[in-house]
Amino acid sequence: MDLYYKSTRDSNVKATASEAILTGLAPDGGLFVPESIPALDVPLEKLKKMSYQETAYAVMKQFLTDFTEEELKRCIDKAYDEKFDTEEIVPLVKMDNTYYLELFHGATIAFKDMALSILPHLLTTSAKKNRTSNEIVILTATSGDTGKAAMAGFADVEGTRIIVFYPKDGVSKVQKLQMATQKGKNVAVVAIHGNFDNAQSGVKAMFEDKALAKELEEKGYQFSSANSINIGRLVPQVVYYVYAYAKLLENDEIQEGETVNVVVPTGNFGNILAAYYAKKMGIPIDKLVCASNENKVLFDFLKTGIYDRNRQFVLTSSPSMDILISSNLERLIYLIAGEDSKKTKELMEALKRDGKYEITENMRRKLSDFAGGYATEEQTAEEIKRVYEKTGYVIDTHTAVASHVCKEICGDDKKCVIASTASPYKFVKSVMTAIDKAYEGEDEFALLENMCNVSKTEMPQAIKDILDAEVLHRTECDADKMEETVKNILGI
């Protein structure tokens, strides 16, 4: 059976998987969602013996039905190869009766690698399937990790250009250098004077601008996205939750059918939505725990049913979660609204116009799969120290937010999988000073060797690569000059 995709804002808009991946955003500004979430057709007994690549095929073939077996397996094999520093791709590490799903073993040491290693292959395959002759311009906003992972994936990929916008003062020193030193003739990086929400809103506005699309078309370009608004980003993320459950089974940590909680540090809502899709596919997940930092717009939404971004934007030590407009929540809103695209559009327009919306009581009842918690900056640092002193395991700031929330609300009666979304090396200053205040006066890069000694791990290649790398990208712009900047980069 072919699975089609429709827009969250107009159910009459219909696309194949490859068409949805190619365009990124629906023409009406909505997000593409599958007409139904397919069930896994592989029994758990068989799944637990599969490699990551085999699991990826079992999951993704259910969603990407217009890809042939050969096409999809080729994309998977190219993505999940020696770029990852561990053969198992995503190790599941047990510490103190909690399981940390390490999603940071890819080329840029953050969970975004899991999807952005395969997206370029899915996109170029989609372009061939749809006989696209235009050069595809990947336009992306990043809160720190997506940008580098996307650039690493798309660098020098034929038929593509990539332009990444990030908040100049809203990323760590390592994140900034990873982007600024990225090689590739087709790569451009722009620091905006503003926050991530400004960058994300600017990118979405360009996607929705029909006059701009026409102008690009005349010059032989078309936009696509590497953000999690692209269904080609979301589907690969479902895989690692399926894989994690299978590994728990294989290691005799759980019995078949036993439910587990999944705790995800959440900003743009894509990563936790992927866990929800895994549950809907048949994986026995009980609660999907949404862990927020001090920008707790999602925690407040789950508690009250009111989404309100009209609040102070806080720069925290977990910058990839410093987000007040969680784009992927729209996909969940569509589902809990009974797949009512008119209602979804009405709520999204209210968010754009008023900065807030409120869901109905009936919709709130359909959020029972989710729970929410948050960690302050102080609690995040305390959790890093607590986990280290108890187990010797070093976690990054985003994982610490999830770990704190897990401890607060999950209890001990159910197994919990925490999505560990970034290497501690990426946020070395925050992590090391949490472990020992004596490191506070040290330079961020000077602490890298200390991190090796404390964590008893080798410095990742991604960090070694930027230590002496040349800064190649210095472009900056105001948030209201993003379109002008894109045109300059493309020579329009």
Q: Which are the catalytic amino acids?
A: 112
Number of H helices, E strands in the chain: 22, 16
Alpha-carbon 17 to chain mean position: 19
Torsion of CA 187, 119, 139, 125, to 10 degrees: 90
CA–CA separation, 347 and 479 (whole Å): 25
Q: What share of residues in the chain are helix, strand, coil (percent, to 5)?
A: 45, 15, 35
Rounded CA-CA distance 188/391 in Å is: 42
Residue 476: count of CB within 10 angstroms of its CB: 12
| The Cα angle at residue 115 between residues 193 and 260, in degrees rounded to 5 | 110
Q: Closest Cα partner for 18 from 213, 222, 232?
A: 232
Say if strands 92-95 and 98-102 run parallel, antiparallel, or are unpaired.
antiparallel
Check residue 459 and report its DSSP letter. Answer: P
Q: Give the DSSP H or E segment for 422.
A: none
Task: Tell me the backbone φ, ψ of residue 488, rounded to 5 degrees.
Answer: -65, -45
Token readout for 47 is 């799944």
For helices 69-79 and 52-63, the axis angle rounded to 10 degrees is: 140
Long-range Cβ contacts of 330-337 (<8 Å, 24+ apart):
330/8, 330/30, 330/31, 331/8, 331/31, 331/33, 331/234, 331/269, 331/273, 332/269, 332/273, 332/276, 333/8, 333/359, 333/363, 334/8, 334/31, 334/33, 335/33, 335/366, 336/363, 336/366, 336/367, 337/363
* Rg from Cα positions in the chain: 21
Could you say which DSSP state residue 30 is in?
-
* Alpha carbon distance 173, 192 (integer Å): 16
- Sequence-distant (6+) residues with CB within 8 A of 13 are 6, 7, 26, 27, 28, 30
First to last CA, the chain: 43
d(CA 135, CA 159) in angstroms, rounded, equals 5
